[in-house]
Structure 1
Amino acid sequence: MMSVQKIAINVAGKYEPSVVNLKKGVPAELTFTRTKDQGCLDVVHSKDLDFETKLPLNEAQTVNVSTDKAGEYDFSCGMDMFHGKVVIK
């Protein structure tokens, strides 16, 4: 069985870390935890990586990310004001 890349991202006025590096071809999970009650950060989405999820306060939310294709893929808050990036190599 292949291991899974697990990345924890803290959401508190920004994404920390804001750049996530993943290995191509290895399944990946991003776990977002919002720890500050700041409006538009209650949703995280990525057209590139095909996910959108609500982020309830202090509840970890995990999304699966396809790592089939190398490249840089953006994710952002509901209003596209705060941004992060997934880099697949």
Structure 2
Amino acid sequence: MTPDRWIVTIIGLGMIGLIVWFFWLKRSAGFRANESSAGFQEAMILVKGGYTPDTIIVQSGRPVRLNFRREETASCSDKVVFADFQKSADLPTGVTVAVELLPRSPGEFSFGCPMGMFRGKLVVE
């Protein structure tokens, strides 16, 4: 194999590794929800190319309010689904939508768009 083919092969394998890490192996530290005056654990989540932050940490047995603000027009991001809580919400562009949950037990609960392209996680301690 010639040197230029080795270089292209190494770069290609590196890019494959980067894609695998970004989509399946990357872990974020998480954002701890703030306590609101109404007694909710609250977090603001920006929907733009994904969820920011994508990991929210809350305490079990206390109500949670996640405020989603969608700042894009991609059709996949127009809804968020919490399958474990049997909840979903439409997310119109430029509007903040609150999703209220009551996690009763500790664990990790995923949420995302209906197609699974945008994913997030609710960590209940």
TM-score after normalising by structure 2:
0.67
- Percent of pairs identical after alignment? 32
- How many aligned positions are there? 89
Deviations along 1:26-71, one digit per CA (max 9) or x if unpaired, are: 1110111101111200010011122111100010111111121110
Structure with the larger helix share: 2
Matched residue SS, 1:40: helix
Match for residue 12 of structure 1 among 38, 48, 53: 48
1:47-66 → structure 2 map (5 Å cutoff): 47-66=83-102
1:80 aligned partner: 116
Match for residue 28 of structure 1 among 64, 85, 92: 64
Structure with the larger strand share: 1
Runs of 4+ in 1 over 3 A off after TM superposition: none
Of structures 1 and 2, the one scoring higher in RCO (CA 8 A, sep 6+) is 1
Matched residue SS, 2:77: helix
Matched residue SS, 2:104: coil
Unaligned runs of at least 5 residues, structure 2? 1-37
Whichever residue aligns with residue 68 of structure 1, its letter is R
Whichever residue aligns with residue 22 of structure 1, its letter is V
Distance 2:53 2:122 in 1: 10
Instruction: Give the superposed CA RMSD.
Output: 1.5
TM-score after normalising by structure 1:
0.93
**Structure whose alpha-carbon radius of gyration is higher:** 2
Whether 1:67 and 2:103 are equivalent positions in the alignment is yes
